[in-house]
Structure 1
Amino acid sequence: MAWMAWTWPTAAFFAVIALLLVTFTVLAIKFPETPRTGILRIETTRGDRLFITLLGSAFINLAWLGIVGANQPFALLVCLVYAVAVFRYV
């Protein structure tokens, strides 16, 4: 990991994203899905909602870092609430 100066949290972050992609790929193969229309009135699949969640979580973390600057684990809680909302309503 020294070639990119990664820290363990950074490596864990990318490992979780890789695990999510593999999990969602297996789910898509095992349980084919049909797009659904949510509160945004666009058709989304599980993968679309995962992408929206990851993108939104990145912005939540950046905003948290810029506004609060500390206590980043609380931003994770906000991201988890956001993820539940996206998968439930979008």
Structure 2
Amino acid sequence: MAWMSWTLPTALFFISIATILVGMTVWQLVSPSMERRGFLPLATTRGDRLFIGLLSSAFIHLAFVALTDASIAIATVLCVIWMLILMRWG
């Protein structure tokens, strides 16, 4: 049976996602979100924007790995910036 190799970056990634989900759940309980329209072509809530941001960040990373030889840290910085923009103005 093959087991997943839990490296520090892998563990930090999953801990970060879990922390974001717990934080968003608490935020939703304290202050329920309303749908709003931003630059995305549909009305979204905070949770919708989080899901769209995480999914698009995965595609940004995949494209970056496929199309460049640069450090993955650059893609990570781009994804963090993308998530901040999307969560604020999306």
Structure 1 length-normalised TM: 0.89
Number of paired residues? Answer: 89
Measure how far apart 1:7 and its partner are. Answer: 1.2
Report the equivalent of 2:82: 82
Runs of 4+ residues over 3 Å off in structure 1: none
Q: Deviations over 1:29-64 (max 9, x none)?
A: 011111111122311111111101100110011111
1:30-49 pair list within 5 angstroms: 30-49=30-49
Query: Unmatched 5+ residue regions in structure 2?
Result: none
> Residues of 2 paired with 1:43 and 1:78: CA distance?
24
Structure 2 length-normalised TM: 0.89
Measure how far apart 1:4 and its partner are. Answer: 1.8
> Residues of 1 paired with 2:8 and 2:47: CA distance?
26
> Residues of 2 paired with 1:79 and 1:40: CA distance?
17
Q: What do you get for the CA RMSD once the two structures are aligned?
A: 1.5
Measure how far apart 1:8 and its partner are. Answer: 1.1
Which is richer in strand?
1
Measure how far apart 1:80 and its partner are. Answer: 1.4
> Residues of 1 paired with 2:70 and 2:5: CA distance?
22
Query: Unmatched 5+ residue regions in structure 1?
Result: none
